[in-house]
Structure 1
Amino acid sequence: MSDIFTMCFIENNNELLVQKRIRKPFIGLWNAPVGKVKTHESPIEACKREIQEETGLNLDEVDFRGIIIITTSIRKKSDVLMLFHTKKFSGDINSSEEREVAWIETEKIYSYENTTSSFIYLLPYIIETNGTITGKIIYDKNNLETFDITV
């Protein structure tokens, strides 16, 4: 069975909230905060819970942006990634030894070396379009093999 994850793009003026990965895959790389949907939890509930736990922020409003299927050629298993976006939140970010979060200027993310390539490809679809996003991302180990997205 596939796992279901949420990914939330949180904007604050010209900055985007990013989180450093501490687990496989992509240890040490920055990405939008991601979390797993638990049993009896809706994707929006999971998104809000994960953001509060992982960053310290409370999401006041969140917009559903789409669904992507993520597959690796090694695992032969696909996961579902539910995409969300918001500019409405309260609280202050909270880093710890277990998780590091930071605001980074959105334009700098495109040239930042410590982010996953799929994050860089996905970002303009989230912040520059308004439609529902769907598609697939396929990795060969940690290398992006296929990025097929439609709006």
Structure 2
Amino acid sequence: MYNQTLCFIKRTDELLMINREKSPNMGMWNGVGGKAEQGESAIQCAIREILEETGIHVLAANTHYKGSVSWIEEHQKTGMDLFLIEVEKNFTYNIPKKTAEGILDWKKVEWLMDSRNRGVSEMLQQILPTVLNEASPVEHVYTYENGDLVQYEKRKMVQI
């Protein structure tokens, strides 16, 4: 478990995304999430961050662990745990919604995955298919040397 989470709220073929106000990924669309507080589990962090950033109350039973994404640079490994929450197709959430973290809006998965889309990171486009489609959690590991990506690995992992 890492001390950060990244969460995706799915309604049919759309995800509730945030266009971030601050780094990292400032000005880009991403899932919601953040850093765990002292003594907080990954799922507790995900539920709290979703509530804080969106105002949406989710239950642990509806919050599915989908793996992790990590970065190794200069022999230091950091990362975040990935979660998927699926809501009913008639779930109503008024958008766009401006928050302290950024602007929330529903985005079609097809739009997010379009290779011409410069409003999302390449990393998001690599991890999103496994978050949405794989039954088992997947670990995504990015290795950097001198700031350059030198290796990307994707592997199945055991449920936490």
TM bucket (normalised to shorter chain) is: 0.7 to 0.9
Structure 1, 38-47 or 79-88: larger mean CA deviation: 79-88
Residue aligning to 2:137 = 132
Structure 2 alignment gaps of length 5 or more: none
Paired with 1:72 and 1:29, the residues of 2 have a C-alpha distance of 23
Task: Provide the TM-score with structure 1 as the length reference.
Answer: 0.83
Equivalent of 1:147 in 134, 152, 160: 152
Instruction: Give the number of aligned pairs.
Output: 148
1:95 aligns with 2:98: yes
Query: Which residue pairs with 1:17 in the alignment?
Result: 16
2:2–2:81 Cα contact (<8 Å) kept? no
The CA RMSD measured in Å over matched residues stands at: 2.5
Q: 2: distance between equivalents of 1:38 and 1:53?
A: 13
What CA deviation, in whole Å up to 9, does each residue of 1:10-29 have, x standing for no partner? 11011011111222222111
Structure 1 residue 98: Cα displacement: 4.0
Contact between 1:133 and 1:149, CA under 8 Å: does it hold in 2?
A: yes
Q: Which runs of 5+ in 1 are unaligned?
A: none
TM-score, scaled relative to structure 2: 0.79
Partner-residue secondary structure (3-state), 2:98: coil
Letter in 1 for 2:9: I
Structure exhibiting the larger radius of gyration computed from Cα positions:
2
